[in-house]
Amino acid sequence: MADKNQEVMDKVISLCKRRGFVFQGSEIYGGLAGTWDYGPLGVALKNNIKNLWWNKFVENREDMFGVDAAIIMNPKVWEASGHVSGFVDPTEDGKQFNVMFKTAVGAGEEAIDSYLRPETAQGMFVNFKNVVDAFHPKLPFGLAQIGKAFRNEISPRDFIFRVREFEQMEIEYFVQEKDWKDFFENWREQMFDWMKEIGLPKSSIHELEVPDGDRAHYSKRTIDFEFDFPFGRKELYGLAYRTDFDLKNHSDSSGVALEYFDEESGERFSPHVIEPTFGVDRTVLAILSSAYTEDELGGEKRNYLKLSKNIAPIKAAVFPLLKNKPELVEKAREIYMMLKKDIPQIVFDDNGNIGKRYRRQDEIGTPVCITVDFDTLGEKPELADTVTVRDRDTGEQKRVAIKDLIKEIST
């Protein structure tokens, strides 16, 4: 079993490189442990994930406020947050090692030591007052951020699972203390909704109630959403009840009260926080490893990525049946240009034979392939202005009118 899983992992890593999803960081110099670079298809997949997330959790709601804070913050942030003293992992010989990346800001005598942020969360806590003053939101409301985080992990491993530079999509949702349990439950469900939306199989997701002593220093309750990765069941996302720990500590350290004024009760207080957190790179890995499928189609072995349409990096590929027939190429390019205006993630391909093109698109998870043939041009008059549309998963083909293609691709 373990070997089989390692084999799947190796196949996914090799596909990622071959097809341009993920490359080793600084590869020509032998790489740098814990860093990976996203290629054209990886960027597209990642952007689709981030856009879908932003759309769902920020733009489609009235209670969420987006921020994009600086990665390098005043070092006092990390003292107040508890990361300077508490964000440590044991090294092999038993010493505690702080996994924050240190950096110097400024030159010479003026330079101060700070850190690259190990979580995006603090960028939201320090902007709590700015958002409250500018927008006067009523509780409950949330701040959301997508961005890079850095951790000098002692042993980075498992491809893009544990890396030193990664991306997080995080929400700090502010509530009254008495309501924390309800909102914790509510966010738990929303996280499941999200995982369903991006096509992760429910049977591969497992909740872990993190016991006392194992939780992060700021958390009173944490659920980890673990996923069956090829290398085992490991943390994909987390949901934490951070209490008023962060706002209180930043109020105390900065001298700026990070409080909410409740008009009804006339009270001023630091709200409590529910924090759903989503790693982008682990999302990519969960999606790719669960979408990787091998089967037989028309008597031939193939492998393909069974990606949901909403996150597939390429939504459709357009082909002329034959490369050496200018009238087919011209018509195919015309259809491609027309579709690309509405759906930018479309490609044109006339390389190799049609079977090879299908396999190439299957391997990167393109949901449909559109082929222009002589019937499109009217060889059979009743089929004029129609094309074949091939489904990635079944390989089945049907004729669709050119004018209906946008609907066909987007639904």
- Scanning 164-172, 264-272, 326-334, 400-408 for contacts with ligand GAP by CB under 6 A, the matching segment is 164-172
- Scanning 43-51, 137-145, 262-270, 273-281 for contacts with ligand GAP by CB under 6 A, the matching segment is 273-281
Q: Which of 277, 290, 366, 376 binds ligand GAP (CB under 6 A)?
A: 277
CB of 250 to ligand GAP, least distance (A): 15
- The verdict on 235 binding ligand GAP (CB under 6 A) reads yes
DSSP 53: H
- Would you say 250 or 392 has its CB closer to ligand GAP? 250
Structure tokens of 5? 């899983």
Query: Residue 314, Cβ neighbours under 10 Å: how many?
Result: 21
Q: Is 136 exposed, middle or buried (0-12, 13-18, 19+ CB in 10 A)?
A: exposed
Q: Which of 123, 279, 313, 320 binds ligand GAP (CB under 6 A)?
A: 279
Structure tokens of 405? 């293609």
Laid out side by side, the sheet with 368-372 consists of 346-348, 316-320, 368-372, 386-391, 397-401
Per CB under 6 A, contacts with ligand GAP among 137-156 are 151, 153
Max Cα-Cα span within the chain: 81
The residue of the chain with the least Cβ separation from ligand GAP equals: 279
- The verdict on 238 binding ligand GAP (CB under 6 A) reads yes
- Scanning 158-166, 204-212, 320-328, 340-348 for contacts with ligand GAP by CB under 6 A, the matching segment is 158-166
Q: What is each CA distance from 339 to 185, 277, 317, 404, 405, in whole angstroms?
A: 42, 36, 10, 11, 8
- The verdict on 166 binding ligand GAP (CB under 6 A) reads yes
- The verdict on 281 binding ligand GAP (CB under 6 A) reads yes
- The verdict on 276 binding ligand GAP (CB under 6 A) reads no
Taken in order 102, 280, 236, 185, is the CA torsion positive or negative? positive
Closest to 149 (Cα-Cα) out of 171, 129, 176, 122? 122
Binding letters toward ligand GAP, positions 181-220, x by CB under 6 A: ----------------------------------------
- The verdict on 15 binding ligand GAP (CB under 6 A) reads no
Sequence-distant (≥ 6) Cβ neighbours of residue 105 within 8 angstroms: 72, 111, 112, 113, 114
Structure tokens of 129? 């007052």
CB of 224 to ligand GAP, least distance (A): 7
CB of 325 to ligand GAP, least distance (A): 48
The structure tokens 């001023």 sit at: 268
- The verdict on 163 binding ligand GAP (CB under 6 A) reads yes
- The verdict on 123 binding ligand GAP (CB under 6 A) reads no
CB of 43 to ligand GAP, least distance (A): 17
- The verdict on 282 binding ligand GAP (CB under 6 A) reads yes
- Would you say 274 or 346 has its CB closer to ligand GAP? 274
- The verdict on 162 binding ligand GAP (CB under 6 A) reads yes
Per CB under 6 A, contacts with ligand GAP among 317-376 are none
Q: What is the H or E stretch that residue 196 is in?
A: helix 180-197
CA distance linking residue 114 with residue 397, whole number of Å: 58
Taken in order 125, 128, 129, 134, is the CA torsion positive or negative? positive
| Interface ranges with ligand GAP (CB under 6 A) | 119, 121, 151, 153, 162-163, 166, 168, 170, 235-238, 275, 277, 279, 281-282
